[in-house]
Amino acid sequence: MKAQDKHDKIIKGWIRPLSIPSIKIFPFERPVERIDPALLVRDLCRDRPTDLLEAIKRRYLKLSAEDLDIVIVPAINLILERIVWPLKSAKQAFCLADFIACIALCGMVCEMAIVFIYDLAASLWNISRLGPKYKKMFADRRYEGLAQEQRVKELRKLGAIPDELAEDANTVRRIRREYLHFLDKNYARLEEDAYEAYTATFRVVRSLVALPLGKQKELAIPAHVKSYLELKGVSSPNSA
């Protein structure tokens, strides 16, 4: 055995960093017969506090305040799979302290939501009345290939998005860019930034796809959602 050189340095190592020990650690070993739910939750969490379940509960409740709740959304696959379920996954990631995943998912949801606004505009407006630039943009869905910042900017020019929602979308884009593109990004505010990204994304999603309840508990369907449902051939809940 080679003697340790005086210039060698000893560093700490993380063994099997990609494994989930509650299922199995080594590729050649058999998975456990019965998974211990408590150990699995511990493995899935990014942090390991002594009060693990309480920490998950605390983070869940933080994103489940009354102003962060959606009661009903249209049961349309495109809306559920591209917008609603990824937002729920972002919430789950936050609960498990996987804040980078939360931010990344929020970025995806906001991009899908902004493209959804373009789709709504394409279906509701008389595109022929727009200038050549926008006719072409809508004709071949060029808006899907734009960067998010440019998408939001063009929607503002068209008057198709309220300023507050444009600011929310830009906030998410900024946070996502900082964490997903810069290696030396400081993580001191990671949880706070993930919370800000989620809440901004939530407001965008709620404004687009939430079906609010009226005073008599009836569904008050927003005009843009009603038009989209009709476009897709889905009967509205108020139809006979």
pLDDT the model gives residue 237: 45
Q: Which pLDDT score is estimated for 128?
A: 83
Q: Of the candidates 196, 220, 200, which has an alpha carbon nearest to the alpha carbon of residue 210?
A: 220
Residues of the chain falling short of pLDDT 50: 236-240
| Residue listed under structure tokens 């990004």 | 185
Residue 214: the pLDDT is: 56
228, with CB counted inside 10 A (0-12, 13-18, 19+), is buried
Burial zone of 9 (CB within 10 Å; 0-12 exposed, 13-18 middle, 19+ buried): exposed
Residues ≥6 apart with Cβ < 8 Å to 116: 79, 82, 83, 208
What is the predicted pLDDT for the residue at 87? 98
The closest alpha carbon to 179, from 166, 197, 162, belongs to 197
Beta bridge partners of 65: none
> Could you give the CA distance from residue 32 to residue 25 in angstroms, rounded to a whole number?
10
The model's pTM is: 0.86
Which residues are CB-contacts of 106 (< 8 A; sequence separation ≥ 6)? 87, 90, 172, 175, 176, 194, 197, 198, 200, 201
Q: What is the pLDDT of residues 67-97, one digit of tens each?
A: 999 988 988 888 999 999 999 999 999 999 9
- pLDDT score of 221: 62
Q: ∠ at Cα 168 (165, 173), nearest 5°?
A: 130
pLDDT, position 235: 53
Determine phi and psi for 185, rounding to 5 degrees: -60, 130
What pLDDT, on a 0 to 100 scale, did the predictor assign at position 151?
A: 96
Contact 43, 18 (CB under 8 A): no
CB 127 within 8 Å of CB 138: yes
> Cα separation of 44 and 97, whole Å?
9
Q: Which pLDDT score, from 0 to 100, does residue 239 have?
A: 43
Q: Are 164 and 56 in contact (CB under 8 A)?
A: no
pLDDT value of residue 238: 47
Q: Kindly state the DSSP code that residue 163 receives in the 8-state scheme.
A: H
